[in-house]
Structure 1
Amino acid sequence: MKERPHRLNFCNNNPILVLQIPLANMVDLAYGLAGSLLQKLGSLVYQELRLAWGLQSDLKKIERTISIIKIVLLDAEDRQASNPKLSIWLRQLKDILYDAEDVVDEIEYKALRKQAITAYGSTSPKVRHFFSSSMALSSRLQLAYKIKDIRKRLDEINTSKDQFNLTEQREEVHVMPQWREMTHSGVESSVIGRHLDKEKIIEAMMKADGNVNVISIVGLGGLGKTTLAKLVYNDETVVSHFQLRMWVCVSTDFRVTRLMEEILKSVGHGVDKNSSNVDMMQKSLRDFLKNKRFLLVLDDVWNENRNKWIELTDLLNGGSHGSVVVVTTRIHNVSSISGPVYMHPLDGLPKEECLSLFVKCAFKEGEDKRHPNLVSIADEIVEKCKGVPLAVKSLGGMLYSKVDEREWNLVRDNEIWELEEKEGDILPALQLSYNQMPIHLKRCLAYCVNFPKDHEFFNVVLIQQWMAHGLILQLPVNKTQELEDVGDLYIKELMSRCFFQDFEEFGLYYFFKMHDLVHDLVLSIAHEEWLEIDSENKEIASTVRHLSISYDGPLRVSKSPNKLTSVRTIIYQTEPHMSSVEACISRFKSLRLLDLSDSNFENLPSSIGTQKHLRYLNLSGNESIKKLPNSVCKLHNLQTLILEGCVTLERLPKDIRNLINLRLITITTKDTCLLENGACCFNSLRILVVVECPRLECLFPQMDRCLTNLRVLVFTRCESLTYLLPIIKHLTVLESLYIVDCKEMDLTGGGRGGDAQDLNLKLQILCIEKLPKLEVLPEWLLGSANTLKYLHIEGCGNLKALPEWLPTMKSLQTLEIIDCKELSSLPEGIHHMKTLRKLKIEECRKLVTRSEDWSNIPGLEVLVSGNAEDDEEDRRTALA
């Protein structure tokens, strides 16, 4: 299984012209907050809570007032540009709704705390007697006061709205489109009209004879410079010509030390995170490039300082003759100072190719033939896109599967096309596509301001962060659907609209990126709510909800009360100073997300237990922390806890089972059992990832009461874990199982755990890698005969044959077998599995199979290489 980092990094962003989008975003935020509050207040669980807490009357009035305000907000969006007072009213409303969300979440927190203590008790006498004491009464009175204050403020702002004469409007019910599967395996098959450009650049590469030959690709944003560079980078001729290929996204941060680090990382050469020795880094880079003909792509370069460029090229001079640096940039002056041997100006696509691209994005296969009127309108829309592929794809994706001519005409005739475009503006097509999105998607996209350009998103992590901020709403059509599944639909719709791209799939999970112009758009949308702190005394405005901290010294946090409730996200992009962490935890009391990844402190402050709103805590990569304070277990709202890479962590806190709302946890520990302190009941847990636990022998002592809703289970580098069957037989809703590099793992169960064939499993994904004891696939897999879709086997050197029952897997779509050197045969009947859509067999030296052997399966994508048939062909070629 390919490993990817999931921590967040940041780079400085280019200042861009902010248009009318932030005003619209204020309405989107208020509308979205109102919707999520109403969904919470209207849920059956919440109705029970407010009765139990004696808050029925006030909460009912709050719910009614929010409903009244919500239905006029869409009219406010149209009027606010011409009425400054309305914008002020919207900002005040948004602040009240944020405060209301805090109060509603506090009720939920108290209910969860009572539930945990009722289930497991408490070691603290104070806690045991809290709910029957005067302290409990005092707490309820404080909460009741907060609710009355919210109700009063909402009543006042509801009354003041009458001066604007707003009319009622309701958002159109939005149905998620059906996801279009990616049928191509790379960039090449999805690109239209750039093959001549590619040939010219490769021709210039082959002629290069200096030590550092610069080739620049220059063009406006959205024309496809990066896509063209990828086409060149992955071309077979280029791959075979260069001994080393490297890719770095530069953006505005052209610090040479940073570029050195990124170049080394791109070739898998790790850089010590605790090392600041520039001389050592320079030596490593020179040694690595010495006498090698390399290709380095510097993507999205903005630097116009020639001295910085000379400093970088001096470091690259040690490569062989013919080494090439490809620079993509929007600015001609950037190209000029780099002294290119060849400059390739990228023009817009011709009209015919733009229309072809639009049709591909907007219609299902063959559907355009049935709608000639829509194709005629498409021709006029494409004309307005001025040859920019990103604009064409964005609008095509937005109109996908829509057959109402009025919707197409609205796009063609939108007044946004009449705005005067200036350099640095957001593409009108992107603005239009954003404006046409449903509000829940706008809010999710705006959150992505927290990520840098060229960041590689992992769908699981992004969804957990959206959930931490309450951005994912239960779909009314399927209230039993998991929030993780709804978030997955959000990502896929944003992808279909071209806000996300570079889709790379691994089973049912995937990675993707944002185009740099989309990043500019997101920054223009959410600039008021996001701030990077890069100095000691940077002021935090009251509108800021998300903080990125790049300052590595002590942080002074304002004590002003109005600035303590606004911040909901804190992400450190450098190793945090402990005093800074303590200040943030003690001062910001509305945090939903705290990312302390790659930190190096030995103790997490015990004050972390006061963060009752916290949903997401990331401590990954901390190699010094030995234990967590037990106060972490007071975070009853916590949904995501990431402890991966905490290699000195001795054990989990003793009361970890009190985290009854936990949905995802990744764990690295030196302990032999994850929870030795009695029974565990992680019934909210959906994803469990156990990484680098060399002593781990068991998960929990009483598995029959654990993990009843677990859907994803991952074991990586757990050398002492031997048997899986006693664990898996209790996981009746498990969908994905990944087992990687577990040297003692025996999947057959070793005769323990009962009859494996009786297991009623619902696995969809099974990925097994580097299991030396695996000789045959376990029979308990038959329990997933109707559900298994993806089977990946890699690096299992003792696997000799696949079982004869494998062709009975009725849903199997993807089969990947890689580097299984003893595998010599496939089961009879496997060539007739009609459900298969993708087959990959690589480096199986004893296996004889050819691509043509699979011609019986229609539509099957086959990749077969490095097997016995290939060896024989190579031998015959060598003899000839």
Structure 2
Amino acid sequence: MAEIAFGIIGNVLPKLGSVVCQELSLAWDIKSDLKRLERTMSTIKEVLLDAEKKQASDPLLRLWLGQLNDVIHDAEDVFDEIEYQALRNQVVATHGSTSRKVLHSFSSSMTHAFPFKLAHQIKSIRERLDEIAADKDKYNLTQQREDGHVNKRVNVISIVGLGGLGKTTLAKWVYNDERIVQTFPLRMWVCVSEDFRVTRLIKEILKSVCGIIDENWNADTLQTRLRELLNDKKFLLVLDDVWNEDRNKWIELRDLLIAGSEGSKIIVTTRSHVVASVISTDSTYNLEGLSQDDCLSLFVKCAFEDGEDKQHPNLLKFGKEIVEKCKGVPLAVRTLGSLLHSKVDEREWKFVRDNEIWKLEQKENDILPALRFSYEQLPIHLKRCFAFCSLFPKDHEFYSDQLIRMWMANGLIFDMPINKEQDLEDVGELYINELLSRSFFQDASEKLPSLPFYTFKMHDLIHDLAILVAQEECSVVELGNKNIAGTIRYLSFLEMGQGVPNYLDKLTKVRTIMPTGVQPLPMSLVEVCISRFNYLRLLDLSDSSIEVLPRSIGTLKHLRYLNLSYNIKIKKLPNSICKLHNLQTLLLHGCSRLERLSKGTGNMISLRYLAVTSKYMCLLENESFNSLRSLSLFSCLKVKVLFQEMDGCLTNLRTLVICDCPSLTSLPFNIKHLTALEYLAIYHCPMLSLMGGEDHNQDLKLSLRSLFIGNLPKLEFLPLWIQGYANTLQHLEIEDCKNFEALPEWLPTFKSLHTLEIIDCPYLSSLPEGTHRLPALRKMNFEGCPRLSRNLDGKVSPRSLMYQSFCSMRTRGYFNKSRRSGKELSIGR
């Protein structure tokens, strides 16, 4: 809890000194309250790091932190409301108004009831915080810085062991072994976790083989499809991380697996011997921990660079003692080794060895103290971001860009004083990289230049840790949940009925509502959430069959993230949505009946990410989106023009994705004025010509690094405006452009070009002279270009990076099929 309060205080303190707060203080005589509030918060912040370390062994201190956490959240809500009022007045003023006019507009409203209410709330918060601060000395806090056989034809093998021992890793080695691949024509892998609903498991088994299935299939159809899949085939099925102790559920699943041929195998990984006995396995492998020698070898690899350990024999002595405490658990060893990587100060190693957290009582399946200790060593900002991840189910595949936007919406990414050209999205990227480096995230996919995101997961044991540290703030709700703490502010729904749960009555300050299971939120719950939770920052209503979005959505003045994707019945949005001046992310992809964006959408002056499917002919008409960083257009079937006027608009746009827009005829003539644009992807636009904008201005500072073009039959040559990116373009990929004839003679001037990919362009016959002398070129690949006279690397490479990226986009969410209509749609997340 201390890290939460620390982070929020860090957000609130700069706001106390803002010009808007000063205007408010002068108008309502609360200057002394603001000054005192600032001093008290600063004083409390200084001791929060010490409180974080001591709370585990002091119940009264934890109670004090809970009270502090509550009032700090209330303070953030109040000052967030003040900022919203400033944004609202900025919108009311003309876009050309000076800041003085905006401030004057805000000042003139000080006589109204709204600021009076805020002033009263500030006084109340100051009094509550003073009372809490008076008790801090009691805790001596010091200032610190920072069943049997399946018809006897299918054998079941269990791998049992504590979390982090490597059960899943062992199962993966078996699953991917070449001998296994040759022995079992059909292999399937399903991550089970706590959700052992047989219908869900059948779906996951089918998806493991088929990739995509019809989510609307009923239970009978699913069982029929499964039997057809397994019929007389020798299969290997891995059920990873099973917790189910209900024998009846296992029998129900087992009876559906008898169609496989003799010699089929099921491998079950579980932490529980009870589970292994319930499924009556033929063989059980009790996975033991690593030997001390193996643990030390792994620890050395994680803590030192190659050979560096020999230079620090004094540290190895401490390393051996630390490894002993890990009890042979590889994940604990790797995590602590990563924690101490490149640290050569003996004091840091002693601190890890001697920390009191090792003394905490540990039961058989508890979170290992080693991992909890590594969490304690995270910086405050990473603790809060890590805890937020507890809202997702086990084995969830995170998308980097989506998670960053969710962190941003909840104020978990601080605008730190780093490179001033970096956006909050860049800071979020640093957060993910650091959590990956510390082993809190794992299995990261390759960062392909053709994709603006990558994926990663959390180990089950790490996920348990996230749940443990976030339990005061975050809750995953399943059917039958009754006891929800009143302090919960972040809710995800794994499984829902159709009604509105009674426990929501005691929740008043919820900030996040989102579904993480296969079921969308029912409309009755949607209406309650919008009307009751006035402090919402993140609201996910995707695939909810909404026909009419309630007008009251405009009252959610704190909202930063709104996901309305795949609501295929929505035809228009209420004009009140334009009052969401704090909104950063708006997802409207897959809304195939949406006629147009609301008039006045430009009033959402904080909007940074927009993904949209629309039937309207002009996407952004007479609107300005100066805060927008990413714009994605998917299946906008009637759009002919992107922007009516673009001068002075989209000046901060970094990513532009255009896909499945069959009526689009041209890009904006002055697209070269998008000086911040780094990533441009254009796919499936049969009427689009890229020509235009040839009057390139050499004085413009351009930023484009990646350009991806696919399925543009009108493309014969690259337009001249691309030459303006000769100093910045790193990746150029062209695919399935049937009439593309030649690369331009000026291509060899692209001094930063790393990758050149041209796929399925049958009329391409030669390369410009000097292409092989491109100074930065690392990879050049050509496929499906029969007229090309020669391939520079002398061989035909495997199927191209572009094709792999395209398939990756298809499987990871950019080109999924609509679950309702079966029509292929391009989506974002």
TM-score range, shorter chain: 0.7 to 0.9
Distance in 2 (CA, whole Å) between partners of 1:251 and 1:725 is 49
User: What are the residue-to-residue correspondences of 1:707-746 with 2, within 5 Å?
Assistant: 707-724=650-667, 726=669, 728-746=671-689
> d(CA) in 1 for partners of 2:297 and 2:741?
49
Give the drift of 1:843: 6.1
* C-alpha distance in structure 2 between counterparts of 1:807 and 1:364, whole Å: 39
Instruction: List per-residue Cα deviations over 1:428-473 (Å, max 9, x = no partner).
Output: 2211111111111111101111111011111111111111111111
- In the alignment, is the contact (CA less than 8 A) between 1:576 and 1:599 conserved in 2? yes
TM-aligned CA deviation for residue 415 of structure 1: 3.3
Checking the alignment, whether the CA contact within 8 Å between 1:845 and 1:866 is kept in structure 2 is: no
Whether 1:683 and 2:626 are equivalent positions in the alignment is yes
Larger displacement relative to structure 2 (424-433 or 340-349): 340-349
Query: What do the CA deviations read for 1:661-684 (whole angstroms, capped 9, x no partner)?
Result: 1111111111111233xx211111
Equivalent-residue separation in structure 2 for 1:100 and 1:482 (angstroms): 26
Assess if the C-alpha contact under 8 Å between 1:768 and 1:792 holds in 2: yes
Matched, 1:76 2:51: yes
Q: Does 1:32 align with 2:7?
A: yes
Q: Give the stretch that moved more between structures: 146-155 or 655-664.
A: 146-155
Cα distance in 1, alignment partners of residues 741 and 185 from structure 2: 35
Cα distance, 1:766–1:372 mapped onto 2, change above 3 Å: farther
Q: How much has 1:28 moved relative to structure 2?
A: 1.3
Please report how far the alpha carbon of residue 743 of structure 1 lies from its aligned counterpart in structure 2 after TM superposition: 2.6
Q: Is the partner of 1:865 in helix, strand or coil?
A: coil
- State the distance in 2 between where 1:282 and 1:757 align: 64
| Matches of 2:788 and 2:329, distance apart in 1 | 48
1:143 Cα deviation from its structure 2 partner = 1.6
Question: Please, which of 514, 517, 520 is the counterpart of residue 575 of structure 1?
Answer: 520
Match of residue 524, structure 1, among 453, 464, 468: 468
1:589 maps to 2:534: yes
Cα offset for 1:141? 1.3
Secondary structure of 1:718 counterpart = coil
Of 786, 797, 806, 1:864 maps to 797
Q: Provide the rounded CA distance (Å) in 2 between the counterparts of 1:360 and 1:822.
A: 52
- The Cα of 1:427 is off from its aligned counterpart by 1.8
CA offsets 1:608-654 (integer angstroms, 9 cap, x no match): 11111111111112111111111111111111111111111111111
How far has the Cα of 1:153 moved from its partner? 1.8
Alignment partners' CA distance in 1, 2:176 and 2:704: 35
Kept in 2: contact 1:30–1:94 (CA 8 A): yes
Distance 1:759 1:241, change over 3 A: farther
Match of 2:100 in 1: none
Counterpart Cα distance in 1 of 2:243 and 2:384: 29
Distance 1:99 1:336 in 2: 50
The aligned counterpart of 2:615 is 670
Q: 1:762 aligns with which of 703, 721, 724?
A: 703
Q: State whether residues 694 and 717 of structure 1, in contact with CA within 8 Å, keep that contact through their aligned partners in structure 2.
A: yes
C-alpha spacing 1:217/1:756, structure 2 compared with 1 (3 Å): farther
Alignment of 1:641 onto 2:580: no
Change (3 A) 1:499 1:269: closer
CA distance in 2, matches of 1:805, 1:347: 62
**CA 1:104/1:392 → structure 2, altered by over 3 Å: closer, same or farther?**
same
Paired with 1:105 and 1:392, the residues of 2 have a C-alpha distance of 42
Q: Deviations over 1:124-161 (max 9, x none)?
A: xxxxx997988961212112211222222222222333
CA RMSD of the aligned region, Å?
Answer: 3.4
- In 1, the alpha carbon distance for the partners of 2:431 and 2:569 equals 37
Task: Give the equivalent residue in structure 1 for 2:42.
Answer: 67
In the alignment, structure 1 residue 361 sits paired with structure 2 residue 336:
no
Is 1:626 matched with 2:571? Answer: yes
Answer with 703-712 or 50-59: which moved more. 50-59
User: What is the TM-score when the length of structure 1 is the normalising length?
Assistant: 0.81
Residue pair 1:757, 1:779 contacting (<8 A) in 2 also: no
* Aligned residue number for residue 515 of structure 1: 459
Structure 2 match to 1:651: 596
Q: Which structure's relative contact order is higher, taking Cα pairs within 8 Å and 6+ residues apart?
A: 1
Q: Which residue of 1 aligns with 2:489?
A: 545
Please state how far the C-alpha of 1:348 moved relative to its aligned partner: 3.2
Instruction: State whether structure 2 residue 85 is matched by structure 1 residue 110.
Output: yes
Partner secondary structure for residue 416 of structure 2: coil
The AA in structure 1 aligned to 2:636 is C
- Helix, strand or coil at the partner of 1:674: strand
Q: How does 1:70-149 map onto structure 2 within 5 Å?
A: 70-81=45-56, 83-119=58-94, 137-149=112-124
Give the gaps of 5 or more residues in structure 2.
Answer: 97-103, 801-829
Report deviation, 1:592: 0.8
Alignment of 1:388-399 (within 5 A): 388-399=329-340
Residue identity opposite 1:640 in structure 2: T
Deviation, structure 1 residue 243? 4.5
Does the Cα contact within 8 Å between 2:86 and 2:106 map onto a contact in 1? no
Aligned counterparts of 2:360 and 2:564: Cα–Cα separation in 1: 46
Is 2:772–2:792's contact at 8 Å kept on the other side of the alignment?
Answer: no
* Conserved? CA contact 1:553–1:577, under 8 Å: yes
Question: 1:808, 1:215 → 2: CA distance?
Answer: 60
Contact 1:536 1:555 in 2 (8 A): no
CA distance in 2, matches of 1:789, 1:363: 34
Q: 1:722–1:293: structure 2 CA closer, same or farther, 3 Å change rule?
A: farther
Give the structure 1 partner of residue 351 of structure 2: 410
Distance 1:648 1:290, change over 3 A: farther
Q: 1:557–1:583: 8 Å Cα contact kept in structure 2?
A: no
Give the distance between the partners of 1:164 and 1:367, measured in 2 at CA: 42
Structure 1 contact 736–764 (Cα < 8 Å) conserved? yes
What is the identity, as a one-letter code, of the residue corresponding to 1:65?
T
Report if aligned partners of 1:536, 1:553 keep a CA contact under 8 Å in 2.
no
The code of the aligned residue for 2:581 comes to H
* Cα distance in structure 2, aligned partners of 1:246 and 1:797: 38
Tell me the equivalent position of 2:808: none
Contact 1:850–1:864 (Cα < 8 Å) also in 2? no
Contact 2:672 2:693 in 1 (8 A): no
How far, CA to CA, are the matches of 1:849 and 1:318 in structure 2? Answer: 52
Do 1:130 and 1:136's aligned partners in 2 also have CA atoms closer than 8 Å? no
Task: Check the 8 A contact 2:613/2:636 in 1, yes or no.
Answer: yes
Q: 1:463·1:488 contact (CA, 8 Å) conserved in 2?
A: yes
How does the TM-score come out when normalised to structure 2? 0.86
Q: After alignment, is 318-327 or 699-708 more displaced?
A: 318-327
Cα distance in 2 for partners of 1:604, 1:650 equals 14
Q: Is the 8 A contact 2:482 2:503 kept in 1?
A: no
Rounded to whole Å, the distance in 2 between the matches of 1:44 and 1:134 is 15
Cα deviation 1:89-123 (Å, max 9, x = unaligned): 221111111000000000010011111121369xx
Distance 1:796 1:292, change over 3 A: farther
> Structure 1 336/686 Cα, relative in aligned 2: closer, same or farther at 3 Å?
same
The corresponding residue for 2:207 is 265
Counterpart in 2 of 1:185?
none
CA–CA separation in structure 2 for the residues paired with 1:452 and 1:590: 24
Q: Which runs of 5+ in 1 are unaligned?
A: 1-25, 122-128, 172-207, 855-862, 868-880
Q: Is the 8 A contact 1:801 1:823 kept in 2?
A: yes
Q: CA deviation at 1:360?
A: 3.5
Shift of 1:819: 5.1
Match of 1:187 in 2: none
Choose which of 222, 230, 250 in structure 1 pairs with 2:192: 250
Tell me whether 1:326 sits opposite 2:326 in the alignment.
no
Change (3 A) 1:80 1:227: closer
| Conserved? CA contact 1:645–1:668, under 8 Å | yes
The DSSP-based 3-state class of the residue aligned with 1:222 is: coil
Which residue identity is paired with 2:596? R
Partner SS, residue 631 of structure 1: helix
Q: Taking structure 1 as reference, are residues 796 and 227 closer, same or farther at Cα in structure 2, changes over 3 Å only? A: farther
In the alignment, the residues of structure 2 paired with residue 209 and residue 531 of structure 1 have an alpha-carbon distance, to the nearest angstrom, of 41
Shift of 1:234: 4.0
- The residue type paired with residue 646 of structure 1 is C
